């Protein structure tokens, strides 16, 4: 119990998506600086992309483990994070450690915190596909994290229901909304895009991201072939693809798409610019999880290049549709949205199930309530 002292909260971040979703939580804790002592730890699981996000949101970490290596295996990443984080938690002894989502950083951090008997709060808890290899390794990471989490911040009722069905007590599960919507609204309210390509082009813009491990190899080749077919089929579309820095992605993308007219292969852009790209696009094709949550708030239909999703709420709401990685299916489903205005409008105008942009404030209040007494 707190007994009037400030609550020491450690927030750990490893990847770009984690940073996007945890920076608003950091803002929420900063607003209550009289009640919280805040420590930000980054592992550097994604180095350049992570640093970029932290700079944009003006978040300065107290610790940087800098563990990234080229083509690093999950086992090697785990091996490096455990002892480095063990020393930090031994030194700082926070009251609670916040992890986010489903990354290796979150899994390992939660495990080390458990070893130290430190309370663990899991932001974006409860997402499930119930297929351990889709997404890989994220599905199992999430389930393992739930096993040692003390406070579960579920983004939706569906996610909360998953946790209680797995035996987690209801008084440890809180529905907050998703913090990515907080981040999205922050960007829309504080940033004017410098991106001019979309605004100055009459073509309908298709934004694509594809970089998940389960899509390495043939699935990614199928996606590229679908994009080529779409370009040949429609002369009024243009495709913009920020290409992930992973060499497994870059090799395939540049081999198939580098010389295709009206396909713009660009370096990964900062998050603020990516929000602008989403906002200016006509529709989005992605294997990302976060975009399934963000794009509906912008009124953009999303076709998900995966066979399963841990975000069924978006499918139920009609804001996204699973299309997998079969070339012909991708072409067919994209063509429907390009040709059928009624279907497009139904997806574009569906209500986003992921919240109102106030999740971070709720998380701060829930932490406070758990330390009262």
Catalytic residue among 18, 102, 293, 310: 102
Catalytic pick among 18, 95, 124, 333? 124
Read off the tokens for 177: 């909304």
Q: Are 150 and 119 in contact (CB under 8 A)?
A: yes
Rounded to an integer, what distance in angstroms lies between the CA atom of residue 43 and that of residue 14?
5
DSSP string, 36-60: EEEEEEE--SSHHHHHHHHHHTT--
Catalytic position from the list 46, 211, 311, 362: 211
16 a catalytic residue: no
- DSSP assignment letter at 155: S
Token pair belonging to 266 = 């660009």
Task: Establish whether 211 is a catalytic residue.
Answer: yes
Of 16, 47, 122, 138, which is the active-site residue?
Answer: 138
Cα–Cα distance measured from residue 64 to residue 161, given in angstroms and rounded to the nearest whole number: 35
Task: Name the residue among 176, 143, 164 with its Cα closest to residue 310.
Answer: 143
**112 φ, ψ to 5°?**
-65, -40
HSE, CB side, 13 Å, CA atoms: give it for residue 74: 11
Which residue is catalytic, options 204, 213, 307, 308?
Answer: 213
- The β-bridge partners of 160 are none
Q: How far apart are CA 231 and CA 239, in angstroms?
A: 8
Is residue 3 part of the annotated active site? The answer reads no
> Of 244, 306, 311, 362, which one is the catalytic site residue?
244
**Planar angle of CA 293, 138, 72, nearest 5 degrees:** 120
Residue 124 catalytic?
Answer: yes
As annotated, the active-site residues are 102, 124, 138, 211, 213, 244
């Amino acid at each position: 119990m707190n007994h009037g002292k400030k609550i020491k909260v450690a927030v750990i971040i490893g990847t770009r998506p984690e940073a996007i979703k945890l920076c608003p939580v950091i803002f929420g804790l900063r607003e209550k600086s009289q009640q919280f002592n805040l420590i930000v730890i980054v592992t550097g699981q994604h180095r350049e992309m992570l640093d970029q996000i932290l700079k944009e949101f003006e978040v300065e970490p107290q610790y940087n483990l800098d563990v990234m290596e080229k083509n690093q295996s999950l086992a090697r990443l785990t091996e490096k994070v455990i002892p480095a984080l063990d020393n930090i938690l031994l030194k700082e002894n926070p009251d609670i450690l916040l992890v986010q989502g489903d990354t290796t950083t979150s899994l390992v951090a939660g495990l080390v915190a458990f070893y130290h008997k430190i309370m663990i709060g899991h932001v974006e808890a409860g997402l499930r596909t119930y297929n351990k290899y889709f997404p890989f390794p994220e599905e199992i990471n999430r389930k393992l994290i739930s096993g040692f989490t003390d406070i579960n911040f579920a983004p939706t009722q569906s996610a909360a229901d998953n946790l209680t069905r797995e035996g987690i007590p209801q008084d440890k599960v809180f529905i907050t909304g998703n913090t990515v919507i907080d981040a999205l609204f922050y960007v829309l309210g504080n940033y004017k895009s410098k991106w001019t390509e979309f605004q100055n082009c009459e073509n309908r813009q298709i934004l694509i991201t594809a970089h998940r491990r389960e899509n390495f190899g043939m699935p990614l080749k199928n996606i590229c072939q679908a994009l080529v077919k779409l370009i040949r089929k429609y002369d009024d579309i243009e495709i913009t693809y920020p290409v992930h820095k992973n060499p497994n992605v870059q090799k395939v993308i540049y081999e198939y798409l580098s010389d295709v007219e009206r396909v713009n292969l660009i370096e990964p852009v900062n998050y603020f610019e990516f929000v602008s790209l989403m906002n200016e696009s006509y529709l989005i094709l992605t294997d990302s999880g976060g975009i399934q949550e963000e794009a509906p708030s912008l009124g953009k239909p999303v076709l998900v290049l995966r066979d399963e999703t841990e975000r069924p709420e978006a499918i139920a709401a009609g804001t996204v549709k699973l299309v997998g990685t079969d070339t012909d299916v991708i072409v067919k489903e994209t063509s429907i949205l390009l040709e059928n205005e009624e279907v497009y409008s139904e997806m574009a105008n569906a209500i986003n199930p992921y919240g109102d942009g106030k999740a971070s404030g709720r998380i701060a209040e829930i932490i406070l309530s758990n330390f009262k007494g």
